[in-house]
Structure 1
Amino acid sequence: MSFLPGLLLFLATIAGMEGFAYAAHRWVMHGPGWFLHASHHRPRRGKWEWNDLYAAIFAVPSIILLMGGVQLGWWPGCTWIGAGIAAYGAIYFGFHDLIVHRRLPIRYLPRSRYMKRIVQAHRLHHVVETKKGTVSFGFLVAPKPEALKAELARRQHAGMRAPAR
């Protein structure tokens, strides 16, 4: 496969991963996978939480596609798709774990409207501690914070974390 079609497939995979991440977060992590994801909606004790297993689970298709495309002679597009999945995972880690949850000591202050919006949307997602009642399941695309606050109010703040004292 030549470079330009490969690059387009790579970029399309990154974009498509947003839809996959939204669906997995909303209907798996806040559904039958809540037994792992619940740890992410509570204060973390230590460096790890059960939710971190999702990173390993979601890396498997990327690893298989990269290995198949590079080593096993599969369709060359598999390499580009596997790399796109891995790139989305790296973007997710940088944004979610480093910027929003500050799991490593970095000093980043969002300045652009876009970054402020997605950080605030993710924080509004985390004001709810329960499996149901959360808002904003996406990662790279997020509704306006005003819309999310209105939705939380409409739900009468069900499952919201008590204010810190």
Structure 2
Amino acid sequence: MIVLFWILIFLGTFFFMEFMAWFTHKYIMHGFLWSLHKDHHKKDHDSWFERNDAFFIFYAVVSIVLFLLWQYDIFWPGLPIGVGIFAYGVAYFLVHDIFIHQRFKMFRRINNRYARGVRRAHKMHHKKIGKGGGECFGMLVVPFKYFKK
């Protein structure tokens, strides 16, 4: 029974992270921390790394802290929550950094309806290179209009 509870916490965390990604992207990255995110919209450097990668590091640290809180018997749901955040980070990295932005040359031939919709939505988001006026701030869940032919 406890394993089922942990699986539910993990799944709830994973799906909640999509909301967190949307919220963070819309109100923090395109808000008061635009200075860290803007190089993702308009590359202003020669490095493979972007200042925007700091957000990835932030969530990795949160996940690690939750693992440690579980490990030292301080917060028992730390493990399923930490693994949920980690799993979302892996999914985000695979979809956003590898599939969409091709930071590694992989997944180039994926061309199903979902993949095309996610690409279209992200392309619409990147149409605006400034801080305001953007749309489609989510990653794995995007509006249905992007799945139409």
Residues 28 and 34, structure 2, Cα contact 8 Å, conserved in 1: yes
How many residues get paired?
146
Q: Which amino acid aligns with 2:115?
A: M
Larger radius of gyration: 1
Offset at 1:42?
A: 0.8
Offset at 1:88?
A: 0.4
Aligned to 2:93: 93
What whole-Å deviation, never above 9, does each CA across 1:28-84 have from its counterpart, x for those lacking one?
Answer: 0000010000000013633111111111112221111111112x1023211100110
SS in 2 for 1:126: helix
Offset at 1:110?
A: 3.0
Aligned to 1:23: 23
Residues 67 and 82, structure 2, Cα contact 8 Å, conserved in 1: yes
Aligned to 2:34: 34
Aligned to 2:81: 81
Aligned to 1:4: 4
Offset at 1:107?
A: 4.0
Take 2:8 and 2:113, find their aligned partners in 1: how far apart are those partners?
27
What whole-Å deviation, never above 9, does each CA across 1:69-121 have from its counterpart, x for those lacking one?
Answer: 12x10232111001100110010000000000000121423322122111210
Large movers: runs of 4+ above 6 Å: none
Q: Mark the runs of 5 or more structure 1 residues left unpaired by the alignment.
A: 148-165
1:54-73, aligned counterparts within 5 Å?
A: 54-70=55-71, 72-73=72-73
Shift in alpha-carbon separation, 1:120–1:109, aligned structure 2, 3 A: farther
Aligned to 2:121: 121
Residues 116 and 147, structure 2, Cα contact 8 Å, conserved in 1: no
TM-score normalized with structure 2 length: 0.91
Aligned-CA RMSD value: 1.7
TM-score normalized with structure 1 length: 0.83
SS in 1 for 2:37: helix
Q: Which has the higher contact order (CA 8 A, sep 6+)?
A: 2
Q: Mark the runs of 5 or more structure 2 residues left unpaired by the alignment.
A: none
Aligned to 1:152: none
Larger mean Cα displacement after TM superposition, 42-51 or 4-13:
42-51
Larger mean Cα displacement after TM superposition, 46-55 or 87-96:
46-55
Take 1:74 and 1:129, find their aligned partners in 2: how far apart are those partners?
43
Percent of residue pairs identical: 36
